[in-house]
Amino acid sequence: MLVAAGLLLFVLGIVGLVHPDFTYHKTEEVARIGPVHATVNEEKVATVPTFVSVSMLVVGMGLTVLGVRRRG
């Protein structure tokens, strides 16, 4: 179980370093008059900080090593 969690964190850390920005769309209701709704679809950009990605890499490697040592 530790090995799987470690590998997942390791891969997510690599993804965060290689592609730190990702976009998503947010639909927001701006007006409501009776049965009529007005919405705005905004594109947002979220950034994964570098220290978070590096931390995930380090913790992922640690969990993987710990899991392998406990097994063997």
pLDDT tens digits, one per residue of 7-57 = 999 999 999 999 999 999 999 998 999 999 899 999 999 999 999 999 999
- Indicate whether 72 pLDDT > 80: no
Q: How many domains does the chain have?
A: 1
**Terminal-residue alpha carbon distance, the chain:** 14
Instruction: Supply the range of the domain harboring residue 51.
Output: 2-71
Give the pLDDT band (50/70/90) at residue 4: very high
Nearest 5°: phi and psi at 47? Answer: -120, 130
DSSP class of residue 35 equals T
In the prediction, which pLDDT does 36 show?
92
- Indicate whether 65 pLDDT > 90: yes
Nearest 5°: phi and psi at 20? Answer: -75, -20
Provide the 3-class DSSP secondary structure of residue 33: strand
